[in-house]
């Protein structure tokens, strides 16, 4: 579940992604979530990667505080529409691929 919230520090709009630990598929899921968070934090310098300023955990949930992106998740868009036009798929693929490229030489 993802909620829209406002930061108490600067009133910026953020997204709060709540992950219910009891609904993870198996015990290996939690370490995968931690690895995903670590990967996103290492790539935070890139324009197409959402920043994760805060991660909170309780016994039952993991909360990711993430920069707000009003467009929603790509997975949700695909679930609703079933497919993307070729030009839109090309644009998304370029945005997904860009953070994996080496930085330009100066």
Host domain of residue 81? 2-100
In a domain, 83, yes or no: yes
In a domain, 105, yes or no: no
In a domain, 106, yes or no: no
60 vs 45: CA distance, rounded Å: 31
What is the total count of domains within the chain? 1
In a domain, 10, yes or no: yes
pTM of the model: 0.64
In a domain, 12, yes or no: yes
In a domain, 85, yes or no: yes
For 45-102, the DSSP string reads: TSTTS----EEEE-SSEEEEEEE--TT--HHHHHHHHS---HHHHHHHHHHHHGGGSP
In a domain, 63, yes or no: yes
| Residues 54-96: tens digit of each pLDDT | 889 898 888 999 888 877 777 777 888 888 889 988 988 888 7
| Residues 30-59: tens digit of each pLDDT | 788 888 888 878 877 777 778 888 889 898
Q: Which CATH number do you get for residue 23?
A: 3.30.200.20
- Does 99 or 83 have the greater pLDDT score? 83
pLDDT at residue 4, rounded to an integer: 93
SS3 37: helix
In a domain, 93, yes or no: yes
């Amino acid at each position: 579940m993802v909620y829209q919230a406002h930061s108490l520090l600067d009133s910026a709009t953020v997204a709060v992604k709540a992950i219910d630990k009891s609904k993870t598929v198996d015990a290996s899921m939690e370490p995968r979530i931690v690895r995903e968070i670590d990967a996103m934090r290492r790539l935070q310098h890139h324009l197409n990667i959402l920043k994760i300023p805060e991660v909170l955990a309780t016994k039952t949930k993991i909360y990711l505080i993430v920069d707000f992106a009003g467009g929603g998740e790509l997975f949700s868009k695909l679930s609703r529409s079933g497919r993307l036009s070729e030009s839109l798929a090309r644009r998304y693929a370029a945005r997904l691929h860009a953070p994996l490229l080496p930085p330009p030489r100066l």
